[in-house]
Amino acid sequence: MTDKEQRYPQRVRNTLRFRQLDVLRVERISAGFQRIVLGGEALEGFTSQGFDDHSKLFFPQPGSVFVPPQVTDEGILWGEGPRPASRDYTPLYDASRHELAIDFFIHEGGVASDWAMHARAGDTLTIGGPRGSLVVPEDYAWQLYVCDESGMPALRRRLEGLNRLASRPQVRAVVTVGDEAYKDYLAHLSHYNIEWVVGHNPQAVVEALASTQVPADDYFIWLTGEGAVVKTLLGMFERDDIDPQRVRGQAYWHNK
């Protein structure tokens, strides 16, 4: 592996496990986010190495019994009956407390969002994964993060990780929120250069990024949010002078 390749984000695989976890606490940690803290014996061995990992959360119909699938050498064995709705969320694992937090952005008409609003201590939630991680070096000299509310938990996890570095890289984050009040979720990270775009306006995000000067080397670009927006943003960074291995773009949700 060349020195340059060693500086690329690296994929790692985890053994897939489905876990039925207990809701330990429910906390309204921000104007826009409901935190559900999960624990229990099944959390044993949980690992998540990438700041933008995802776990799949399962939401069975109220009153129905959901038996988590079994992972076998032949693949995943699902039980009888319809599979419940599932959604991807960023795992926020605290190894010192052996607890897993999930921060749900609360919005209209969502299975996951509604579940989070009604969850109570003692409820259970089945999660799968993370199945794999992209481990992105923390010390790239120049780093750009673009997201909306759905990516704020991953961004928060990342910036809290960077806080622990002896010397902080140059970070720019462009975060779009539907309401000014949602900024409070990142208030403790205001020592980073976070530019806010208030009111979902994809054009304003494009304009904020239009004059971005990407350095020749040692950079990382992370683009997430609504699918069509991410596609547009990715297009802005598909250039001959930008290494695609240093650009990560991922749709976090779709406008339906």
Binding site for ligand FAD (CB under 6 A): 54, 87-90, 103-105, 107, 109-113, 149-150, 153, 252-256
* In the complex, minimum distance from the CB of residue 92 to ligand FAD, in angstroms, rounded to a whole number: 8
* DSSP category for residue 170: E
- In sequence order, which residues have a C-beta less than 8 Å from that of residue 111 and are 6 or more positions away? 59, 85, 87
Q: Is the dihedral of CA 66, 72, 75, 77 positive or negative?
A: negative
Look at residues 101, 218, 206, 235 and name the one whose alpha carbon lies nearest to residue 146: 206
User: Nearer Cβ to ligand FAD, position 106 or 144?
Assistant: 106
Q: What's the min distance (Å) between Cβ of 228 and ligand FAD? A: 11
Nearer to ligand FAD, 105 or 237 (CB): 105
Q: By C-beta, is 36 or 142 nearer to ligand FAD? A: 36
Quote the least distance from Cβ 157 to ligand FAD, whole Å: 9
Which residue, 53 or 143, has its beta carbon nearer to ligand FAD?
Answer: 53
Distance from C-alpha of 87 to C-alpha of 57, rounded to nearest angstrom: 5
Least distance between ligand FAD and beta carbon 63 (Å): 19
Q: Cα–Cα distance between 180 and 151 in angstroms, integer?
A: 16
CB 72, min distance to ligand FAD, A: 26
- The least CB distance from residue 149 to ligand FAD, in Å, is 5
CA 206, 211, 216, 218 dihedral sign is negative
The values of phi and psi at residue 103, to 5°, are -105, 110
Task: Pick the closer one to ligand FAD by CB: 222 or 237.
Answer: 222
Considering beta carbons, is residue 58 or 89 the nearer one to ligand FAD? 89
CA atoms within 13 A on the CB side of 37: 12
CA distance 247 to 238: 9
Q: What is the DSSP letter of 63?
A: T
